[in-house]
Amino acid sequence: MRLRSGIAVAVSVVVLVAIGVVGVLVNRSALQAADRVHRADSVALGTNNGTLAGQMQLLSAQELSDFAEAIGRGLTLGRDDAADRVKLRAFAGKSAFFGYGLAIVSRKGEVLNATRAGGLPAVTDPGYATLHAGLRAGRPGFSSVMTVGGVALAAVGVPVKTAILVGYTNVAATQLQAFVARLSADTHLTTIVDAEGRVGATSEPALIGRTIDPTLIAAAHEMRAPDFVEYATPDGTRMIAVVVPGMPGGWTYVRTQTVASFDGAVHRRSQTLNLAMLAMLLAGVLGILIFAYRALITRRRADEKFRALFQHAPDMVAVVDADGKITYSSPSAAGLLGFEPGSLQGSSVFDVVHPQDRNQLQAQFRDLVGERDGLLRRECRMITSDGRPRWFEFTASNQLHNPALTGVVINARDVTQARAFQERLAHEARHDSLTGLPNRRRMRDALGETLPTDGVAILYVDLNGFKPVNDRYGHNAGDELLRQFAQRLSRAVRDQDVVSRVGGDEFVILMPGVENEATARAMADRVRAEADLPFEIGGELVSVGASVGVNLARPDSDPEDALRDADQTMYAVKQAVAAPRKVGRHRAQA
């Protein structure tokens, strides 16, 4: 009997140990899978935010470049030239980025002109090093953070003739700071830092101008791709940061939080589960029945943990089998897609994928199922219960071999607003903010795409008498006149024609496929007729006119030469307007 009891106890202990070891391994595997998904999502989110921040920097440089290109020919670049300063101040007054001030600096580093008498960094400030490096590389230059009189500033530089046009921003009041401030959260700190680690934008505005931890600065200099950095603060707190390098001017996106908050409840509950298993091993003498009971309780707690983690999660979590059938979907699916809770269970995940994305996604899913521990990350459209498409960023992890999951785990996040924001940034970079027309950059792209295959009639349009309207009625009236004229041009041209505003009161019309001078002149006559009609500005009728230069560009023409010829023709017409006896007003030439 004793022998049998000993054997039974030994068998019970061996079985308990074996099951306990298996339980620890399964728990560890599930934890590692969750960690991989969490880390991948964190890096993807950081990369997305860092990319948006970098695009905002480039957008500011584009605004400065457009201004330099628009007025470059009219600048004298003389020291303290009053006319140059008036142009700089006018631009600063309406700039979305450089309201703090602008300066023209010679290639030797001498300040030739500035909108402010003081409050600008000295030209010897080391913060300009990255700006000059960018210019030498043929790109817009972005400075580091520089402090003047307690104000943290950043500068952007672009070439203008033989000098450099530099725009300054108060980093505490930039669009970039407003964007980062919206990323504020209790669990983490978001910062955008320069090449020296000084904070230029942050979710905690009090940190602007300060320097981040030296460990993060060193890591940012060495990194070539987004990654995690773990370090300890002076008081011993373990920290983890997502570092995204590669922004213009050597700037870097950093999101920091404690390791404890990053690991969160998943690790704490995992440790609790391991302790529970250890307790069961120590209680092996109580027999198989007690162990079975404890195992049942443990499994119930694990299920409760799973529900607690995903019951109120804002992101959608789903588990699907090898055929794409949904075996679990988190309650958040009801809020994000509008379906009743549990109604997606048993259906195919591809039923809610947009038809235009479905075939490609099914092919990628088949490849993922065939790859152990495979990971798929992409964006696609999903259809809500009322038939509306929404963009989701998702990560799918192949855990079919994992006995704790036995499926493909999908984490999906609604990125409809973020994608719309990206598209808006791209649109603003290629369109004139005042009239909504394509800007010079978009027009040049359209011309370059069309010319190799077809002739193009180019009409270079300049308003006559626009400056007196500005002087008499003010810039707001001038802006309203430009908007009305842009609308008239858009109505006057053909559907396939491209109307763009290339600066000031100058517009360009591209007419693809037109190689007939009579057709081009007819359009020029129509443009002049639209300009001759009075404009109602502030309750008054205002009359201007237009000079139109016409150039018929052949398919073998160089786009820049063709555009320049049209510009020169318009200029000749403009000069001829001053001699009405010889030419006649508002004339068009080819």
What CATH number does domain 34-263 carry, 2.80.10.50, 3.40.50.1370, 3.30.450.20, 3.40.50.2000?
3.30.450.20
Q: Which CATH superfamily is 315-415 part of?
A: PAS domain (3.30.450.20)
Q: How big is the CA angle at 64 (ends 61 and 69), to the nearest 5 degrees?
A: 120
| pLDDT for res 587 | 42
| pLDDT for res 302 | 58
Residue 81 dihedral angles phi and psi, to the nearest 5°:
-65, 125
Tabulate helix, strand, coil % of the chain (nearest 5): 50, 25, 25
Point out which residues pair with 500 in neighbouring strands.
Answer: 508
| pLDDT for res 581 | 41
| pLDDT for res 289 | 64
Task: Please give the model's pTM, rounded to 2 decimal places.
Answer: 0.45
Long-range contacts of 177-183 (CB under 8 A, 24+ apart): 177/201, 177/202, 177/205, 177/208, 179/52, 179/53, 179/56, 180/53, 181/205, 183/49, 183/255
Point out which residues pair with 509 in neighbouring strands.
Answer: 459, 499
pLDDT less than 70: residues of the chain = 1-6, 8-9, 13, 16, 27, 265-266, 268-270, 273, 277, 281, 284-285, 287, 289, 291-293, 295-296, 299, 302-314, 333-335, 338, 340-342, 418, 420-429, 577-590
| pLDDT for res 508 | 95
237, burial (CB in 10 Å: exposed 0-12, middle 13-18, buried 19+): exposed
Where does CATH 3.30.450.20 sit in the chain? 34-263, 315-415
CA–CA dist 81, 574 (Å, integer): 26
CA–CA dist 562, 555 (Å, integer): 10
CA–CA dist 469, 544 (Å, integer): 8
CA distances from 24 to 18, 270, 401 (A): 10, 9, 16
The total of other beta-carbon atoms located within 10 Å of residue 13's CB is: 15
| pLDDT for res 303 | 58
CB-facing half-sphere around the CA of 556: CA atoms within 13 A: 0
**430-589 has CATH 3.40.50.300 classification:** no
Residue of 373, 405, 401 lying closest to 40 (CA atoms): 373
